[in-house]
Amino acid sequence: MNAVLSLRNITKYYGAIRALNNVSFDVPEGSVFGILGPNGSGKTTLLSIILDVLKANNGSFSWFGHPGSPEQRKKIGSLLETPNFYHYLSASDNLKITQAISGRGVTSDIDTVLKKVNLYERRNSRFKTYSLGMKQRLAVGAALLGQPQVLVLDEPTNGLDPVGIAEIRQLIIELRSLGHTIIMASHLLDEVEKVCTHVAILKTGNLLTTGDVDEVLMDEDIVEAGATDLETLSKVLQQISNNVTIDSSTKTVHAVLPKGTAKLDDINRHCFQNDIVLNHLLLKKKRLEAKFFELTNH
C-alpha cells in the first residue's frame, strides 16, 4: 500500500521544550489514521508541521512521495480550527465565500461537497439554524473544497454533543469509503477505536507505537467464556492458559493466550471433552484504553 504521507525524524522545539522528538511513521493511502495522545503530547504541533503552518527544527516529511510544496498542498484539505462562518448566511453562501477566499476548487464543487457531508437538503438554511454536528459537518465540507485526496482534521469531535459526535464519526467512515485518506488527531481512545484503521500514539512528543489499529490493540488474545459452573470452567481453561480469571460481574471466565493462537473451535472442543458445555465464547481485543494506559504510564 502506498504512503500518502511519510514522516522522518520530525523534531520540534519551543525554547527548551521538545514538543516532538524524532517522530517517524507512514500514513497508508485509503486509511483513517489516528494520531492519538493526551493533551500536550504534540498532536497539533505535528499537524501544523505537515500543513506548513510550522517549521520543524529537524527531520523531513513528504506527501505522495514528494517534499511538501504548494502543488502537493492542493491535494490536502484541512480543519485545524473551525472556520468563521457567517450566521445569517446559508451553507451554500458560506462555502462560496470560503471558496473565493481560499481559491480551492470551483463554485460547482459546492453542491458536491454538501452532498458528501449530508447537508444538501439544508443547503439554503441559515448557518445559525444548524445543530452543533451540522456546523462541524459544514466545516469538514469547507475542507473538502477542491476535492482533496487527503483530509487532515484536528480533534474533529471536540465540543460536540453525543449526537454530533456520532454524526462526525459516521461522516469520516463515509468519506473513507469515497476514497479519501483521513488523518485525524484525537485524545479520545473510543474515537480512534471506532473509526480509525491505523494509529500512532504520542506521549510528550515521543512516538510510543504505530501500526494497524488491530495490531496495536491485540498484544494478546483474550478469550471470554461462560458456563453454568465458572469454577470448573476456570480449572479446565487453566490447562491451556497460564492467565485465567473469573469476572463475577459478567459471570464469565477470561483466558489470555499468545497473540494469534486462540482457536475458538479448539477451545470449545477442549471444554466439551472435559464435561463443560459453554453458553458463551468470544475472542476479545484488548481494549485500546488498556493498551493506551500501559504505554503512556511506563
Res 63 pLDDT > 60: yes
Last residue of a domain, one of 197, 216, 235: 216
User: Domain tally for the chain?
Assistant: 2
Residue pLDDT, tens place only, 158-206: 888 999 999 999 999 999 999 999 999 998 888 888 899 999 999 899 9
Residues 155 and 238 in one domain: no
Residue pLDDT, tens place only, 205-248: 999 889 998 777 666 788 999 999 999 999 999 999 988 999 88
Residues 139 and 269 in one domain: no
Q: What is the CATH number of the domain that holds 74?
A: 3.40.50.300
Sequence-distant (≥ 6) Cβ neighbours of residue 197 within 8 angstroms? 28, 31, 32, 33, 176, 212, 213
pTM: 0.77
User: How much is the mean pLDDT over the chain?
Assistant: 89
Phi, psi of 140 (to 5 degrees): -65, -40
Res 278 pLDDT > 90: yes
Q: What is the CATH number of the domain that holds 239?
A: 3.30.70
Distance (Å, whole) CA 152 – CA 141: 12
Count Cα neighbours of 134 within 13 Å in the Cβ-side half-sphere. Answer: 17
Res 115 pLDDT > 70: yes
Integer angstrom CA distances of residue 254 from 52, 279, 287, 291:
48, 14, 14, 17
Res 298 pLDDT > 90: no
Residues 170 and 223 in one domain: no
Integer angstrom CA distances of residue 258 from 99, 238, 265, 293:
53, 14, 16, 20
Sequence-distant (≥ 6) Cβ neighbours of residue 275 within 8 angstroms? none
- Which grid cell sits at 162? 453525543
- Burial-class residue 239 by CB neighbours within 10 Å (0-12, 13-18, 19+): exposed
Q: What is the pLDDT of residue 207?
A: 92
Asked whether 105 and 99 are in contact (CB, 8 A), the reply is yes
Residues 92 and 10 in one domain: yes
Q: What is the pLDDT of residue 295?
A: 63
Q: Whole domain around residue 33: which residue ranges?
A: 3-216
Model confidence at 9, pLDDT cuts 50, 70, 90, reads: very high
